[in-house]
Amino acid sequence: MPGGHLTYEDRRTIAEGLREGLAYAEIARRLGRPRSTVGREIARNGGPHGYRADRAQQATEWRARRRPAPSPSPPPAADARGRDPEAVRAFEQLLTERLGGVPAMAARVLACLFTSDTGVLTVAELTERLHVSPASISKGVGYLDQVGLVRRERDNRRERYVIDDEVWYRAWLVGTRSMMLWAETVRAGVDVLGPDTPAGVRLRTASRFFELLNADMAAAAEHFRQTFSLDRDAVPAQKPRPGDGPPA
C-alpha cells in the first residue's frame, strides 16, 4: 500500500516499467509512491538493467530475517480526551474501507478529517497521520475538493483542508448526480436499440428507475439540510440568573 513496504506486485510493476523504458518518475506515478522510493529500490537490487522482481523480493525477505526483532513498544497512551489511539485508527480504517466509490487516498484523507475534532488539517498533519508523501495527500485532496467534500483555506503560508457539518449533504448530492448520469446514459441506449425492442424497453425502464431514485435522493438530502439547519439555529434562550438586572 502507498506509504508502506513495497509488495511483490509493486516490484513486478517496477520491472515491467523498466522493460518498457519508463523513467523512474513515471514508474513512481504508477505506484503512487515517491520517485526516491523507486530509485532506492532499483539501485539496491541490480540497477535499471539488472533489476528482477523475484530477486528483489527474495533479497528483501532475506534482509528482513537478518534484522533483530524490535523491542516491544509500550501501548500508546490515551489522547487528551481519554480515547484509545488504536481504537481511533481502527475506526478510521473501517470508515476508509466503507467509503465506496471514493479513491483510496481520498477516502483516507476524508476519514482523517471526519474523525478530527477540529475538522481542519494541514498537509503536514495529514502526512504525519497517514505516513504518505505530500504529493499523495494533494492527489487525494484534489479529488475531494473537486466533488465538494472539502474546502481549502489559507492560514498565512499554510493551506488547510476543512470538512464541515454539511459534508454528507454534499456527498449525497454527488450520488444524485451519479444517478442522473446513469439515467441519461441508459436513455441514450433506447434510441440506439429501438424503443419497441425488448432491450429498448428494458433500458427505458432502467432510465425511469434512475430518474426516480435521483429525485428521491435529492429531496431527502434537502430535507436533511433544512432540518439540520433548524436544529442548529434553535438555541434556547439563556435563563436570567439571580441578581441579573433587566436588559438595557
Residue-level pLDDT at 242: 47
pLDDT of 9-65, one tens digit each?
999 999 999 999 999 999 999 898 899 899 999 998 988 888 999 998 888 888 777
- Tell me the C-alpha distance between 88 and 112, whole Å: 10
Higher pLDDT, 196 or 77: 196
- pLDDT above 80 for 77: no
Say which amino acid occupies 139: K
pLDDT band at 84 (very low <50, low <70, confident <90, very high): confident
Query: Which residues lie closer than 8 Å to 218 by C-beta, 6 or more apart?
Result: 173, 176
- pLDDT above 80 for 198: yes
pLDDT band at 238 (very low <50, low <70, confident <90, very high): very low
Query: Which residues lie closer than 8 Å to 144 by C-beta, 6 or more apart?
Result: 106, 109, 110, 150, 161
Closest by CA position to 102, among listed 134, 53, 69, 143: 143
Domain ranges of the chain: 8-62, 85-162, 167-233
pLDDT of 132-144, one tens digit each?
999 999 999 999 8
Residue-level pLDDT at 72: 65
Residues above pLDDT 90, as percent of the chain: 19
The DSSP letter of residue 235 is: P
Lowest-confidence region among 131-140, 168-177, 222-231, 237-246: 237-246
Nearest 5°: CA angle at 65, between 56 and 75?
115
Closest by CA position to 135, among listed 65, 224, 33, 211: 33
* 8 Å CB contact between 203 and 187: yes
Higher pLDDT, 219 or 66: 219
Residue-level pLDDT at 246: 43
- pLDDT above 80 for 204: yes
Q: Residues 191-214: what's their mean pLDDT?
A: 88
- Tell me the C-alpha distance between 103 and 43, whole Å: 31
Select 85-162's CATH number: 3.40.50.620, 3.40.50.1970, 3.40.50.720, 1.10.10.10: 1.10.10.10
Residue-level pLDDT at 71: 63
Residue-level pLDDT at 26: 92
